[in-house]
Structure 1
Amino acid sequence: MDEVSFPYHEHPLHRSGGFGLLCAGCVKVAYSSDGYRCSECYGHRFFLHKECAESPLQITLSSHPQHPLHFIGTYHDHEKTCHLCGDYISEVSYHCFTCHIYVHIGCARDPPMPVIKNPMDHRGFLTLVTQIMGFTCDVCGGESHSYCYMCHHCYFFCHIGCISLYPEITHPSHPHPLRFLENGEPHYSDGKCGLCGEEFENGRLYHCSACNYSLDLTCVKYPPPLSYVSPKTHEHELTLLPGNMSFTCDACGEYGYRSPYACHQCDIKFHQTCFDLPLLINNNRHDHPIHRTYLFDRGLDLFCGVCHGKLDGPSEAYVCVSCDNFAVHSICATGFRVWDGRELKGKPDEMEDTEPFRVVNGNLINHFSHEEHELRLKNDGNVCQDNIHCRACVRPIDTDPFYSCTQCDFVLHETCANLPRTKRHPLSTTKLTLTSSENFPEGSFTCDACKRHSSGFGYSSGSLCFDVQCISISEPLNHDSHPHALYCFSVCCPLGRDEYCNACGKTCHLGFRCNIPDCDFALDYGCATLPKMVTRRESNDHPLFLRYGGNVSVRFQCHVCKKKLDLKKWFYANGHYSTASHVKCTVGDFSGLTEGTIITHCQYDPDRIWDPYSIWGFKNDVISECDFEVVANDSISGPCCHVCRSRSNMSLMLKTSDGSGRYICSYDCLSGFHPARV
């Protein structure tokens, strides 16, 4: 099967190789062409060997025969260690619920021998101790509470996983013997493994003093193959060249400094992470598949669609198979939150209907979200006097062309009606699907980009969902508040600095930033999608315009809340600056909701219990629920908020559905609402 739902991982897994990845099951480095990978986890680093993913749900271990071991997920507790080898458990393991024993999948599949004779030049026998005990390993120096090997004559203790670590070894990657060092690398060493480039954990390594060549314990236990055949990369067999050497990778064009794979016939070299790159993939910056090719200097200025740096040949890059204006660096194309991890070569093309409607006759259409009735286009250019909002973006119609239902009050902006059914976007590695509000629980959702609650249409994929306003803006974003183009970013990817939104001043976790050197301008999605004009009922129908701060002469008091305005942040004001207000006071917390939407507010138990086996983390945590309906604020003075006791001027408020007539003016007040409060 190309895709499976693994019971102990939140995202679907797809069939793929995992060269150099750490298996989450057996916690061994994989050099396999067959396994399962996650498309959504950071850098697609979650990988399972095929045999680990297909492990039985229950086994009996020879060293623990009294109880069966059950296959479980342990991602809620990252401090668990395997009681056989002593290493940390990743996301899945075998567990004895009676004795609270955890065992790696690999250790359970290949259990240790009960007695070993003369290991590691140790005279005598080492016996497997099948009880949990505290000890210090005499090989690696680590302290553990687990099973171990023990010599009863000299009280020699050893991790089960360290039994193969001799004082001196011959490793396939090096012609000379390597000696075990437990007090750190020599002063002349660069402090990194000669194969993987990682620093040495706890200062323990194997070292050749004649060649200044060092290996960490992971590469000693799980060395990469000395030769590898990768038909999708190169026609000849590739050979590992262990050691420190400078080279330029013929795949990504970047500098390398140790242990490449090389073809001696063609005199080309690759990073270990580059030579097994896929041939045909999807990219979330482009709607068409892109294929890996050798990019020669075409005499054109091509820029990477991800990092926006210039693409210089000759080197490998990914280019669109359908158009000639999109190209990506090899590393960028398969990087963080860009690639869905799927190799498309040899797989059938996706056949999807992206058209959102079918034309009935002239200006009459049948939209997928309202198939029971037909919609007619209205494009007279007049201001829509009625308070009508688009069902997709939940914004007023105003003078924009729109489709109106011939039999009910369903309306859509013309641009919203033309939104494609499926779309690729920088916010998601996988393709997003347009969904109408009726298909969401309670008819609403929270956008994962701007965090607004919306009852409009949303683009969703798995657990992610985004409103159409956030999806409608893409990079490069040319915003009136800044002279340079802005590009999408996420602080989940290491940036080296914190980003702060120039509109609201808050930490910007997901949004757009300027790539010009020394320009730290950034916008979060919530501010980037603010309406440029808002009409409020108390402003005598005069529109308020979005102002981007700066040195302006304006009243320093918000017209709505009567509090001071911070001119360094964005605000709304009329044409003469005689009326001004905060962004939140102008737009309101419920601007993404339509009248009649029901919101359920849950009150949580402060003494709720953590449940490590629940996907939600807690159990028995909701002690009360209360439903609220979104209603229009049509009164002259505005109703009094039940929590803050102030009269609200917001155009929308929440009203309890139990008939008590209590109102809520904001989400801050909703979080402090208690049903029993009078």
Structure 2
Amino acid sequence: MEEIEVPRHEHPVRPFTRFLCGCCGAHCTDHERIYGGYRCNEPGCDKAFHKECAEALPEIINSFHPEHPLKLILDYSCPNACSLCQHKFGIGYSCSLCDFHIDLKCVRIPPPTENSCLHEHPLKLSHGEPSDSLEYDICGDCKTNPPPVCVVSSTTHEHQLHLVPRRMDFTCNACGTLGDRSPYFCLQCNFMIHRECIDLPRVININRHDHRISYTRRLGHGESPWKCGVCRKKVDGFYGAYASSKVPSFVVHARCATREDVWDNVELEGMPEEEVIAPFEVVDDTTIRHFSHDHNLHINKDGQILHENIVCEACVFQIGSEYFYSCKNCDFILHEKCANLPRKKRHVCSNQPLTLETVSRAATCSLCDKQHFVILE
């Protein structure tokens, strides 16, 4: 997937056709929907940009100021006021010869037309509110930022999708949940979809599973009813969902998988899978070299019960009668199960993988608020 560089953003961004709700990274507008454009795919960075903002040219000719060329300005510290809408902006265009400024939102406004096919009189651009005498069945957001009438998204559907701008009950083919207004519809095969489900990510990681999961347009029927790995409710195999290739029984609703508290907002299609680093090297049948210790550790499976003062260096619980690894050069000792703890682990409490620490320090658990000690070293 081709990526581009955007001014004032430290990471490359990649194209998308999904509909997002949020501020454009170019600060061209207030909080609003972004109907496709470019987004950052770095962990922890959720910036998205309108296509026109990300591809903004260094110099343009604009119909609202055709006398002079306008130059792109990038200055958050000294915002200018747009000459059309009067809103202040940090990124936009300015005339170096006169006091004309225009933000990136107003740059996208089509030029005033003298020959509209919709009305017999010349039409002029107005920034005022519509007359109260007219009836409107459209929300304020869609008046100022209307959704596209047609959408082409190969990741969503093989045919062009058309907006149905009305209230109507439907079931989204992409996620299997109900909708009550303005779906996108395929004229060729009766496919219907929420605007939010257009361009769902193909391959992702979620904090409920240790392996990648992939989107499939129709899950099909398993040996027993599918159950979502997030909400634990039934998953209808007739609609789209996410599934794990490593654990075939693990499936997730499309809406559950892409929740903000479940997905890290990173799309993994085309990216190599991260190598799993084992917590130890096997020396022989009874000996390992654990990453947390400088000496070899030897397994003990003879049922030996150690003194109650001897505790595991990882979990700080008594060894008891469990199998354990011990060091012949010092007092270091680990439960066998603790020695097998993965170096990284995904957990419901965080969208980012947790790393097993090996430094002695006091810490407070984010879930139970109790203090504990990390003492592997």
TM over 0.5: yes
SS at match of 1:286: coil
Shift of 1:446: 3.5
Task: Provide the secondary structure at the position in 1 that maps to 2:235.
Answer: coil
Paired with 2:348 and 2:53, the residues of 1 have a C-alpha distance of 32
Which of 119, 128, 152 in structure 2 is aligned with 1:229?
A: 152
The structure-2 alpha-carbon separation of the partners of 1:162 and 1:235, relative to structure 1 and needing over 3 Å to count, comes to closer
Aligned counterpart in structure 2 of residue 240 of structure 1, from 132, 138, 163 = 163
Report what 1:110 is aligned to.
93
1:400 to 1:112, Cα distance in 2 relative to 1, 3 A: farther
| Residues 206, 215 of structure 1: 8 Å contact kept | no
Matches within 5 A, 1:275-314: 275-293=198-216, 294-298=218-222, 300-314=224-238
* 1:363–1:376 Cα contact (<8 Å) kept: yes
Specify the structure having the higher radius of gyration (Cα). Answer: 1
2:48 and 2:105 map into 1 onto residues whose CA distance is 21
For the structure 1 residues 386 and 304, does the alpha-carbon distance in structure 2 shift closer, same or farther, using more than 3 Å as the test?
closer
Once the two structures are TM-superposed, the CA of residue 251 in structure 1 deviates from its matched residue by 0.7
Structure 2 letter corresponding to 1:261: Y
Amino acid at match of 1:395: F
Give the Cα separation in 2 of the matches to 1:15 and 1:164.
Answer: 21
CA distance in 2, matches of 1:300, 1:358: 39
Asked whether 1:84 is paired with 2:69, we answer: no
Q: Residue 334 of structure 1 corresponds to which residue in structure 2?
A: 258
Does residue 418 (structure 1) correspond to residue 340 (structure 2)? The answer is yes
Residue 380 of structure 1 and its aligned partner are, at CA, apart by: 3.9
Q: Which secondary structure state, in structure 1, belongs to the residue aligned with residue 259 of structure 2?
A: coil
Cα 1:419–1:387 change in 2 (3 A) is same
- C-alpha distance in structure 2 between counterparts of 1:163 and 1:278, whole Å: 30
Q: CA deviation at 1:288?
A: 2.0
Pairing of 1:21-420 with structure 2 (within 5 A) = 21=21, 22-28=23-29, 29-36=33-40, 39-40=43-44, 46-48=47-49, 71=76, 84=81, 104-105=89-90, 108-111=91-94, 209=134, 212-216=136-140, 218-293=141-216, 294-298=218-222, 300-353=224-277, 355-370=278-293, 372-385=294-307, 387-420=309-342
Which runs of no fewer than 5 residues in structure 2 stay unpaired?
A: 57-72
1:595-625 deviations in Å (ceiling 9; x for gaps): xxxxxxxxxxxxxxxxxxxxxxxxxxxxxxx
| Per-residue deviation, residues 49-93 of structure 1 (Å, max 9, x unmatched) | 6897899xxxxxxxxxxxx98557xxxxxxxx966259xxxxxxx
Mapped contact 1:262–1:268 kept (Cα < 8 A)? yes
Counterparts in 2 of 1:208 and 1:25: CA distance versus 1, 3 Å: farther
Distance 1:275 1:69 in 2: 32
CA drift of 1:13 comes to 8.8
Distance, in Å, in 2 between the alignment partners of 1:285 and 1:428 is 10
Instruction: Describe the shift of the 1:13–1:69 C-alpha distance in structure 2 as closer, same or farther (beyond 3 A).
Output: closer
| AA partner of residue 344 (structure 2) | T
In structure 2, the partner of 1:628 is none
Structure 1 portions without partners, runs of 5+: 56-67, 73-80, 87-101, 116-126, 131-147, 149-158, 183-203, 459-593, 595-678
Deviation at 1:260, TM superposition (A): 1.4
Q: Which residue of 1 aligns with 2:63?
A: none
Q: 1:565-615, CA deviations, whole angstroms, 9 ceiling, x for partnerless residues?
A: xxxxxxxxxxxxxxxxxxxxxxxxxxxxx9xxxxxxxxxxxxxxxxxxxxx
Residues 321 and 112 of structure 1: CA distance in aligned 2, closer, same or farther (over 3 Å): farther
1:450 Cα deviation after fit: 2.9
Report if the CA contact (8 A) 2:357-2:374 is conserved. Answer: no
* CA distance, structure 2, for counterparts of residue 50 and residue 34 of structure 1: 6
Equivalent AA in structure 1 for residue 89 of structure 2: H
Q: Which amino acid aligns with 1:19?
A: F
Structure 1 residues 220 and 457: alpha-carbon distance in aligned structure 2, compared to 1, 3 A threshold: farther
Q: Contact between 1:25 and 1:104, CA under 8 Å: does it hold in 2?
A: no
User: Per-residue CA shift, 1:498-547, capped at 9, x if unaligned?
Assistant: xxxxxxxxxxxxxxxxxxxxxxxxxxxxxxxxxxxxxxxxxxxxxxxxxx
**What is the DSSP-based 3-state SS (H/G/I as helix, E as strand, rest coil) of the residue aligned with 1:332?**
helix
Residues 412 and 8 (structure 1), Cα distance of their counterparts in 2 relative to 1, 3 Å cut = farther
Residue 113 of structure 1 deviates from its aligned partner by 10
Does the 8 Å contact 1:320/1:326 carry over to 2? yes
Structure 2: how far apart are the matches of 1:417 and 1:273?
44
Residues 400 and 272 (structure 1 numbering): CA distance in 2 closer, same or farther, change over 3 Å?
same
In the alignment, structure 1 residue 454 sits paired with structure 2 residue 372: yes
State how far apart, in whole Å, the 2-side matches of 1:274 and 1:261 are. Answer: 10
Instruction: Assess if the C-alpha contact under 8 Å between 2:262 and 2:348 holds in 1.
Output: yes
TM-score by length of 1: 0.43
Work out whether residues 402 and 414 of structure 1, in 8 Å CA contact, stay in contact via their aligned partners in 2.
Answer: yes
In structure 2, distance between residues paired with 1:319 and 1:248: 21
Give the deviation of 1:257 after TM superposition: 1.6
Judging changes above 3 Å, is the alpha-carbon distance between structure 1 residues 206 and 419 closer, same or farther for their aligned structure 2 residues?
Answer: farther
Corresponding residue for 2:70?
Answer: none
* 1:428 correspondence with 2:346: no
Aligned to 1:642: none
**How has the CA–CA distance of structure 1 residues 246 and 305 changed in structure 2, closer, same or farther, with 3 Å as cutoff?**
same
- Residue 369 of structure 1: how far off its partner (Å): 0.9
Distance apart, 1:109 and its partner CA = 2.2
Q: State how far apart, in whole Å, the 2-side matches of 1:411 and 1:260 are.
A: 60
1:112–1:160 Cα contact (<8 Å) kept:
no
Q: CA deviation at 1:265?
A: 0.6
Deviation at 1:330, TM superposition (A): 0.7
For 2:27, give the aligned amino acid.
C
Say if 1:15 and 1:445 are closer, same or farther in 2 by CA, change over 3 A.
farther
Contact 1:181/1:206, CA 8 A, preserved across alignment: no
**Residue 666 of structure 1: aligned partner:** none
In the TM superposition, residue 289 of structure 1 has moved relative to its aligned partner by 1.7
Q: 1:322 to 1:161 in 2, by over 3 A?
A: closer
1:297, CA displacement in angstroms? 3.9
Distance 2:201 2:310 in 1: 49
The structure showing larger relative contact order (alpha-carbon pairs under 8 Å, at least 6 residues apart) is 2
Partner residue, 2:60:
none
- Summarize deviations over 1:116-136 as a string: whole Å, max 9, x none: xxxxxxxxxxx97x9xxxxxx
Contact 2:227 2:251 in 1 (8 A): yes
